[in-house]
Structure 1
Amino acid sequence: LRKRSDTLLTWERPNPLSSKLRQFCTRLNRVPTFLRVWVKPNSWIGRLVLFLIFISGVAFMCSGVTYIYGGNGAEEPYPLNGQYSQFTLLTMTYDARLWNLKMFIRHYSKCSSVKEIVVVWNKGMVPEPSEFDSAVPVRIRVEEQNSLNNRFKVDPLIKTRAVLELDDDIMMTCDDVERGFKVWREHPDRIVGFYPRLVDGNPLKYRAENYARKKKGYNMILTGAAFLDTQFAFSRYWSEEAKAGRTLVDKLFNCEDVLLNYVYANSSSSSSVEYVKPAWAIDTSKFSGAAISRNTNVHYQKRSECLAKFAELYGSLANRKSKFKQRKDGWDV
């Protein structure tokens, strides 16, 4: 390559409702202080009030999860120039996350534009496709080595140009997925996804999305939820030029998404990433012990190490900043 590349619950929509919702949440955050003053936990009334608050919180959370997992989920696709298309959904997992995968497939298989779901199986007892409740074909691709590089392996059995790379612990609405697919069809040469990051500074440091928001721009899209051109992305990722990067990915068991961003940036003189804001996004790994990157500090340290190495190998991303709020439809606020 020539020199030139974590999520919490989000529930805002780009409309006036979101501002009212933010105001409500701000007021809600003040409730604990109010309760400490007016509710006495040692009294039976205090315990009753706290119990009712707890039950209400559980009910609210369950209704949110039901909204994501339940229903038919098959919102209408968005046409581009009057035409519709389909994509392949690809996720990578292993046996300890099977319970999550079943819910994942049940939900996303009902999204209108999904043609097939490909499960990259990295380790453990391989399930049968018949174990999944799916509205579309499910293919399990068993890998010999447990490597994050398998996510972008060239797969001649994929029949669509577009692939949605989606972590098995990310749940969002089908409407968000369909909007992302429409944006990718407008810019098929870009990584189009839902989790932006900004890489800058000296030394380079990996930071969360709020840093990109503060700086009003981004130059990286995490591929835990992103649309790609399967032929371009996979062939470039497995090129000889990217071999040193793949070696580091295996060494740290991290950063495959960071490497792909550098690969894309190195192949284009224009913007190589595009952001779409999801209305809802739930990271279900927060509810299990099978998360890949539960230790945030260690995770971020590894990714900062990757940034330094990839910049040395492939050049900087610092001068490739894209701004939020550039789309007329408001999908990138």
Structure 2
Amino acid sequence: MGNSDRWATQKAEPTRWSLLGRRMAQRFRQLAISAVGSVKIKLLLFCCIVFTVFVVASIPASFMGWKHQTTSFDRLSVPRKGYTILINTWKRNDLLKQSISHYISCPGLDSIHIVWSEPDPPSSSLVKYLLNHITQSSSKHGRQVELKIDINKEDSLNNRFKEIKDLKTDAIFSIDDDVIFPCSSVEFAFNVWRSAPDTMVGYVPRIHWVDESEVSMQKADKDHYIYGGWWSVWWMGTYSMVLSKAAFFHKKYLSLYTNEMPASIRDYVTKNRNCEDIAMSFLVANATGAPPIWVKGKINEIGSTGISSLGGHTEKRSECVNRFVAEYGRMPLVSTSVKAVDSRNIWFW
């Protein structure tokens, strides 16, 4: 091979490497252009989405056919209308003081009515203590809470549902003096009640069911009912009552209980010193044909156990249920499995 051929070979090799380099550079440019194009497309899509959301948010709700509604959580911070606490007490002034000292700070509270059925009127020291606490709280929170002690001559559990003619609120929070709920829980239950103001909304569910045992079936053709406590509710997953020891209901039911509910039921409650809460559940269910609403809430019991700890409690309550069914001529209670839960206070919803 001559020198010219050798030179041609030597020059051919760099030419191939140059072509390969140019092709690789061109490929990189194409990839870069493609990447830039992809970013531009994504950026353009993102801008379109943001613009669409902005436009939709700017359109009046009436144009879209929506009606603006304030949710219960919006109303929670500044209630449009408050509630009255109707607290039942009996010779437990220390518990009464503790309860009122707690509830006086709840933002939706408008007034407090104490159901007093003791033979002696409240002492001046107790009244002074309660008024001082209410005055201090009113000054601190910038609102005036009214306190009234409704003194009853007769010692009857019916007193807790006696009609009050000068109530300023529609909502009543019926509570015993030995249970305390956080104000946030009370306000949540209040807003649940405002979504269904004709029904009872409470923290303590109970249930009834038909006794289908052979003994019961042989006694009579009519159904015989059994009253079930908390563990029955937990086991069956349903309830048909919420006890008035901690429940919201409309003030109109005080008038119905006092003036229109069968007098025989009130007489039975007075005589047996039991079941006024079941009587109220029957009354509301009979008027609405709807079940109550159970609100999940943490109960802080500050007193000793009540009549529910006594022997034969379930049997006595079952007797009340069957007696009231006979008075109404039917079973008005409606069972349900609905439970209202404030999802803001739980980790997983």
- Is TM (by shorter chain) over 0.5? yes
Separation (CA, whole Å) in 1 of partners of 2:263 and 2:74 = 37
Question: Which consecutive residues of structure 1, in runs of 5 or more, have no partner in the other structure?
Answer: 1-75
Separation (CA, whole Å) in 2 of partners of 1:125 and 1:78 = 42
**Aligned residues of 1:78 and 1:182 also touching (Cα < 8 A):** no
Q: Could you say which residue in structure 2 is the equivalent of 1:316? A: 331
Q: Could you say which residue in structure 1 is the equivalent of 2:99? A: 104
> What displacement does 1:256 show?
0.5
Separation (CA, whole Å) in 2 of partners of 1:112 and 1:283 = 22
Provide closer, same or farther for how the CA distance between residues 241 and 106 of structure 1 changes in structure 2, counting only shifts above 3 A.
closer
Q: Could you say which residue in structure 2 is the equivalent of 1:212? A: 233
What's the TM-score, normalizing by structure 1?
A: 0.69
Separation (CA, whole Å) in 2 of partners of 1:100 and 1:204 = 35
Matches within 5 A, 1:109-188: 109-123=104-118, 124-128=120-124, 129-132=127-130, 133-134=133-134, 135=137, 136-188=145-197
Letter paired with 1:323: S
Q: Could you say which residue in structure 2 is the equivalent of 1:198? A: 207
Separation (CA, whole Å) in 2 of partners of 1:328 and 1:175 = 10
Q: Could you say which residue in structure 1 is the equivalent of 2:3? A: none
Provide closer, same or farther for how the CA distance between residues 325 and 237 of structure 1 changes in structure 2, counting only shifts above 3 A.
closer
Separation (CA, whole Å) in 1 of partners of 2:279 and 2:239 = 16
Provide closer, same or farther for how the CA distance between residues 167 and 328 of structure 1 changes in structure 2, counting only shifts above 3 A.
closer
Separation (CA, whole Å) in 1 of partners of 2:108 and 2:73 = 6
Matches within 5 A, 1:1-333: 79=75, 84-94=80-90, 96-123=91-118, 124-128=120-124, 129-132=127-130, 133-134=133-134, 135=137, 136-202=145-211, 203-230=224-251, 232-269=252-289, 271-278=290-297, 280-286=298-304, 292-293=306-307, 295-314=309-328, 315-317=330-332, 320-325=334-339, 329=343
Provide closer, same or farther for how the CA distance between residues 112 and 251 of structure 1 changes in structure 2, counting only shifts above 3 A.
same
Separation (CA, whole Å) in 2 of partners of 1:292 and 1:199 = 21
Question: Secondary structure of the equivalent of 1:199?
Answer: strand
**Aligned residues of 1:197 and 1:221 also touching (Cα < 8 A):** yes
Question: Secondary structure of the equivalent of 2:113?
Answer: strand
Q: Could you say which residue in structure 1 is the equivalent of 2:5? A: none
Segment drifting more, 102-111 vs 296-305: 296-305
CA deviation string 1:102-135 (max 9, x = no partner): 0111000110100111101110341343222233
Root mean square deviation, CA, Å: 2.6
Separation (CA, whole Å) in 1 of partners of 2:321 and 2:303 = 25
> What displacement does 1:91 show?
0.7
CA deviation string 1:6-30 (max 9, x = no partner): xxxxxxxxxxxxxxxxxxxxxxxxx
> What displacement does 1:234 show?
0.9
CA deviation string 1:242-267 (max 9, x = no partner): 21111110111010110011111111
Larger Rg: 2
Provide closer, same or farther for how the CA distance between residues 140 and 330 of structure 1 changes in structure 2, counting only shifts above 3 A.
same
> What displacement does 1:85 show?
2.0
Letter paired with 2:331: S
Separation (CA, whole Å) in 1 of partners of 2:77 and 2:100 = 30
